[in-house]
Structure 1
């Protein structure tokens, strides 16, 4: 995993650049349960391994799609470092899809490309194409365009 390191103005030069792929992240039942507690989303397909194994079409518990999505900022930070920066913020998402489930006990990683970069007041806004892969899925588990702003 190589990290691209740049300044806020340097982001403008990275438009269209593949940022790389992260190391793998373990998706444990503990991580899923903590996310369920944080979001009050205790649907049984996430937090009840016995029932999920017996009754769900997934054969066991799966991570929340939004858990996968919530890891994007951390994962993008592993492939892109902006220094110095006074502040970086999540600005939003253009598109998000969850094409495949993330089974508990699997691993995920991000492959990212910086699609665009444009000046905004006091900084630069970037759009990152994020494809999250799972070691136990044939297709991506999350595909998104994440928008971040970095300020000088």
Structure 2
């Protein structure tokens, strides 16, 4: 046994008989005990407890990760994909997240509404810009015709 981890106790063994005046010593009983096994049991239980606690923490973390994935990440990915594919030809399709409508608007619904509002504003601005371009192009064509007519008139004079 390692030094300091052993407990030793000695007890005298005596025999008492009524014919003897005093007890007769027949020997000694020495008990030697070590707390090494106690320490080993404590260490084993601590390691087992650490293993179980680690498994519980890992399962809790995986559960939390799954909840965040289902509740948030997939919707953010949908929005990022939608924003990446946006162009003037793809503005017709509104963003729609695949989830139940919340009882009261949350941050994801507000973001969805803001992106759809931005899409409608871009559509309106594009229509307005096209109308202005068509109108400006018509005025330019009219100015070119007028300039051509003026040049014709001056050439004939």
Q: Same fold (TM over 0.5)?
A: no
Larger proportion of strand = 1
Say which structure, 1 or 2, has more relative contact order (CA 8 Å, 6+ apart).
1
TM-score normalised to structure 1 length: 0.20
Rg larger for = 2
